[in-house]
Amino acid sequence: MLSRALAIEIEGIARDAGVEIVGFGDMRSALPPDFHHLPLGISLGVVHPAARSLRQFPGWSPTEDVERALCDHRDRHAQAVLDTALRRLAEYLRAHGYRYFCCPPDVDPMESPFTALVTRRFSHKAAATCAGVGWVGRHGLLNHPTFGPHVTFATLVTNAPLEAAEPVLESACGSCHSCVDACPAGAISGRPWSRDDGMARLVDVELCRQMLAKNAAVNGRWFCGRCALVCARARSCADAGVPCSREEK
């Protein structure tokens, strides 16, 4: 009963802060050894507003602004919501005598070098898959069942006695290879993810980095995101049973 009541309270705090996705997972297999005393991971997610538009109108051709937003993983609003949720949850857990550590949303290492060092020690992908809220796609990004890769995640690990969900152990991408076909660098191997394999051989990081550098040289922005864009479009169309309105070039 304590575990259930505690979970309801924690989820309520997170949702009051604006968090849309909350999951609890056993993180022991994914944590650095010095964090094994905080075995329970709370996975928190906020959906990108552009992804909601795509889900609302499946088959619709997004405007250039929406496409640009879907290609760029950085969502300032989501980061602010998650930072607020982490602060409130930390206050609650501390007041009730539980230990915790907050891992903030992924950030640009050039803008927040200290936070970037912290996030490298934790995997939001591992936390989310342990909590059963998504899987890793062929593109190496975390895929939520509804919103695909367009969710910003943060993680809190704690020793609070919370019941963990069933983890996701393998990809649910099925036969979809949209991201493989769309990658301009040819960096995506096409292999399906499984927990046993981890992230091995999903994406050639060096080829991806080279494409990012080319984009930065042309438009000054260090991102690509074509794989995320086609993934979101393919998922929204498939779920609605309609053909996609455009082919990716």
Residue 25 to residue 20: CA distance in whole angstroms = 17
Question: Would you place residue 30 in the very low, low, confident or very high pLDDT band (cuts 50, 70, 90)?
Answer: confident
Residue 73 to residue 140: CA distance in whole angstroms = 13
The backbone region for 9, taken as left when phi is positive above 0, alpha when psi lies in -120 to 50, beta otherwise, is alpha
Do the bridges between strand 40-47 and strand 21-26 make them parallel or antiparallel, or are there none, so unpaired?
A: antiparallel
Q: Which pLDDT value is given to residue 189?
A: 94
How many other C-beta atoms are found inside a 10 Å radius of the C-beta of residue 18? 14
Q: Is the pLDDT of residue 244 over 60?
A: no
State the sign of the Cα–Cα–Cα–Cα dihedral 115, 119, 125, 131.
negative
Segment 69-76 shows an average pLDDT of: 74
Segment 21-26 shows an average pLDDT of: 97
Better-scored residue on pLDDT, 35 or 138: 138
Domain residue limits, the chain: 2-240
Note the pTM of the prediction, 2 decimals. 0.85
Q: Which pLDDT value is given to residue 171?
A: 94
Specify the amino acid at residue 72: D
Q: Is the pLDDT of residue 109 over 50?
A: no
Q: Is the pLDDT of residue 83 over 90?
A: yes
Percent of the chain with pLDDT over 70: 79
pLDDT tens digits along 144-184: 998 889 899 999 999 999 999 999 999 999 999 999 999 99
Give me the residue label for tokens 């928190």: 44
